[in-house]
Amino acid sequence: MDYYWRDALHDALRRNRGDAHHRYFQLATVDEAGWPANRTVVFRGFSDDDQRLQVATDARSAKVAQLAAASRGEICWYFTRSREQFRIRGSIELHGTAGPGSAACSSLWNSMSEAARTQFFWPAPGAPLAETEAIAESNLPPSSFLLLELAPERVDHLQLRPDPQRRQVSALQQGTWHAQAVNP
């Protein structure tokens, strides 16, 4: 069967699910001065049509301002059990509690644990340390809560386990994925 990166990623998720860290990846953006900006985030799943990767984030965080200026990013995701890396590049959209994408935003909020939700009621991330007032809880997502969705355009998949190692680069061209095996 032909290689398809999405199947490979679903396989990796299944094979690594015993590893508590398998849902963490790094997400890089570009800041206003052209510097790369990279941070760890939690993979929250795929969009309903399986086309986009989802992350929960804070509207007040630096990455959101960076994405307003350059709506591109790259995920770097290493699966320790199966020893493979996915670098997934694509355009990024943010969805809040109003406008298109608000239903998906609310549905992500509803799926999150109370501990994860609490952070969105904290003072602004990255601002000088502030005393925290008693935290207001809500079943509705606060305006600080955003669903971040990355729509892949290029995927570089490196597998260290086979001997020799295997590397596949997939690119989306006119709506169709083309995969090319390359030297690792």
Ligand X SMILES: Cc1cc2nc3c(=O)[nH]c(=O)nc-3n(C[C@H](O)[C@H](O)[C@H](O)COP(=O)(O)O)c2cc1C
Shortest gap between Cβ of 106 and ligand X (angstroms)?
17
C-beta of 28 vs 169, nearer to ligand X: 28
Q: Nearest-5° angle of CA 71, CA 153, CA 155?
A: 120
- The footprint of ligand X on residues 19-58 (CB under 6 A) is 24, 37, 39-42, 55-58
Q: Give the nearest distance from C-beta 69 to ligand X in angstroms.
A: 13
Name which of 5, 159, 160, 167 is nearest 88 in CA terms. Answer: 5
Shortest distance (Å) from residue 35 CB to ligand X? 11
β-strand partners of 172? 177
**Residue 76 beta carbon to ligand X: minimum distance, rounded to whole angstroms:** 13
Q: How far apart are CA 93 and CA 104, in angstroms?
A: 12
Q: Which of 13, 28, 30, 62 binds ligand X (CB under 6 A)?
A: 62
Query: Count residues contacting ligand X (CB under 6 A)?
Result: 15
- Checking DSSP bridges between strand 45-46 and strand 36-42, what pairing results, if any? unpaired
Task: Report the C-alpha gap between 129 and 83 in whole angstroms.
Answer: 38
Q: Cβ closer to ligand X: 61 or 85?
A: 61
Structure tokens belonging to residue 176: 């169709």
Shortest distance, CB of residue 133 to ligand X, whole angstroms?
A: 21
Angle CA 95–96–102, to nearest 5: 80
Go through the chain and tell me how many residues it has: 184
Per-residue interface string for the shown chain with ligand X, residues 115-144, x marking contact by CB under 6 A: ----------xx------------------
DSSP 8-state class, residue 129: P
Q: How far is the CB of 64 from ligand X (least distance, A)?
A: 7
Q: Which is nearer to ligand X, 57 or 168 (CB)?
A: 57
Handedness of CA 40, 45, 48, 50 (dihedral sign): positive
Q: Which is nearer to ligand X, 9 or 170 (CB)?
A: 9
Q: Which of 5, 22, 53, 63 binds ligand X (CB under 6 A)?
A: 63
